[in-house]
Structure 1
């Protein structure tokens, strides 16, 4: 059973002060208003201007006006969110957004920020799981989005993961709080939008409790993901960073795949496709001579052999 915005924020216990990633949309608007009311004078906002659509300047102006009304300090960050070859536009924008939040949470205000809150909600979680299933993802993908994690020395939170989109908008309307609508949210060319507009209403009819049951499945996958990460960290200590090819060959294929995914993500921020990883494993298995070369496309770069080790570079 999903909960209300008020209940979620009352249960939210971040280390203060708190940065809210504020786009101006309904979800981040609810998050900003609720947090500013609960912790007056201890909440800051960062708006990332991607420059990818004509309405971006309108979003920025709206965010400035709202933050002035709430007496919440606002930092606006302009980024070039264009994607590279091998990246999806959504992935590129997400990476730029996270990088901007990390940099400006530390630099934009008078005191260091300890916590950052993001506004993803229960429907976003379901959409993420369905996208992962459609791509044949493993437990890492099915774990979807965590409610709390640490990155770059900061605590990150998603306090609204238990609240569905309809409840968020109802909460805003009751209080006559305005927000901006991103016109791309209605664009059916985006798979996530088709899931939101077409698939979720059907799930609501057939499985009314699907948000809760999907959430439980996500929690089970997250537990399995943590176990695989622990194993990958142990194996990485054994094979080295960067990985020694002969040491990799001593592991089972499953453990090789697990440690390689971990190494690529942790050290190079890329996730190989199933086909890329399978080819990389094949090449590692065949690598028994000094002249054997490895050069496989992974994400927007290449996994390569460097002497007796495996390297990765972005040309």
Structure 2
């Protein structure tokens, strides 16, 4: 098993690495794989260890959300020991805020802990195991929620979060091929029972929509990926325009200057301002109401106040401000 070769995973990892603007990795272990023990992260860990022996470590986040979490951790420990890969295993308690799903809270806690581990152990990149089917699911999930361009752009193959770079080398690779290679090489992995729970929207999409989509349109893994990349490019352009507009209208935004922009450009600017400055996103209805309030704001005494996420957009003199609710 130590010499297991996973051609699809290794090819994808090598191609992904060639596309990234790598910094010179000065440390002995510049790579880490976020290793759950599942099939996808298993394929990624084996491929990374074969390509960069002695430069890879594994990070395992134990959420304790399932009864089998201890079994997953035991499998991860055994696998890393057999591969000779250093393992950093940490437990997190991810309490969720009112209105927040436990899954979202766990995901945020996982990224924060992965970033902390990367900084503590001199890791240049944390690699994530999402594959092409995961991207299709993400785009379909965004459609069910009425998402705009940022959501429909899906998952990026590289990003920075909490000051750490994360990569998804398998994002253009068919997950069925990865599993077939693991089976052919006899590489063990765990099965997450929560993936079968169709109370979760993503799982219903995975179980019911994606198989039918791929049967009817076999090229969907490629076409969805192309569409997501095109939308990601469009979003980068929109963000660049919004940043230029934000510099022009000032921080905080001057109401008179915002009103001089066209309505669509106002919407793009306000989304960017709220997302970049406060990490919040208005709903379509909230954004339209804010635009209407701006259009009506022709006198000095006109008030603007709109609830968005956990705060409010309001007028303060000649500018717009966002204030968190107490």
TM-score by length of 1: 0.90
Residues of 1 paired with 2:324 and 2:280: CA distance?
A: 11
- 1:9 maps to which of 3, 9, 13: 13
- 2:84 maps to which of 67, 71, 93: 71
> 1:254 aligns to what SS in structure 2?
helix
**Residue 280 of structure 1 contacts residue 296 of structure 1 at CA under 8 Å; is this kept in 2?**
no
Query: Is 1:297 matched with 2:304?
Result: no
| Corresponding position of 2:191 | 181
Deviation at 1:225, TM superposition (A): 1.0
1:247-279 residue CA offsets vs partner (Å, 9 max, x unmatched): 322322212221222222223222222222223
- 1:92 maps to which of 86, 96, 105: 105
Query: Is 1:163 matched with 2:167?
Result: no
**Residue 49 of structure 1 contacts residue 79 of structure 1 at CA under 8 Å; is this kept in 2?**
yes
- 1:136 maps to which of 122, 129, 146: 146
Residues of 2 paired with 1:151 and 1:100: CA distance?
A: 11
Deviation at 1:178, TM superposition (A): 1.2
Query: Is 1:60 matched with 2:91?
Result: no
Residues of 2 paired with 1:96 and 1:264: CA distance?
A: 22
Change (3 A) 1:55 1:218: same
Residues of 2 paired with 1:244 and 1:89: CA distance?
A: 38
Structure 2 gap segments, 5+ residues each? 1-6
For the aligned residue pairs, the C-alpha RMSD in angstroms reads 2.1
Aligned length: 308
Q: 93-102 or 274-283: which moved more?
A: 274-283
| Corresponding position of 2:4 | none
| Corresponding position of 1:195 | 205
Residues of 1 paired with 2:116 and 2:271: CA distance?
A: 26
> 2:79 aligns to what SS in structure 1?
helix
> 2:224 aligns to what SS in structure 1?
helix
Q: What is the correspondence of 1:21-60 to structure 2 with a 5 Å cutoff?
A: 21-60=34-73
| Corresponding position of 2:125 | 115
**Residue 51 of structure 1 contacts residue 81 of structure 1 at CA under 8 Å; is this kept in 2?**
no
**Residue 244 of structure 1 contacts residue 310 of structure 1 at CA under 8 Å; is this kept in 2?**
no
| Corresponding position of 1:154 | 164
Q: 289-298 or 221-230: which moved more?
A: 289-298
| Corresponding position of 1:313 | 324
Residues of 2 paired with 1:227 and 1:248: CA distance?
A: 19
Residues of 2 paired with 1:77 and 1:251: CA distance?
A: 49
> 1:309 aligns to what SS in structure 2?
strand
> 1:208 aligns to what SS in structure 2?
coil
| Corresponding position of 1:247 | 257
**Residue 119 of structure 2 contacts residue 164 of structure 2 at CA under 8 Å; is this kept in 1?**
no
Residues of 1 paired with 2:325 and 2:110: CA distance?
A: 20
Residues of 1 paired with 2:204 and 2:132: CA distance?
A: 17
Q: Which has the higher Rg, Structure 1 or Structure 2? A: 2
Query: Is 1:80 matched with 2:93?
Result: yes
Residues of 2 paired with 1:297 and 1:64: CA distance?
A: 44
Residues of 1 paired with 2:321 and 2:258: CA distance?
A: 10
Structure 1 gap segments, 5+ residues each? none
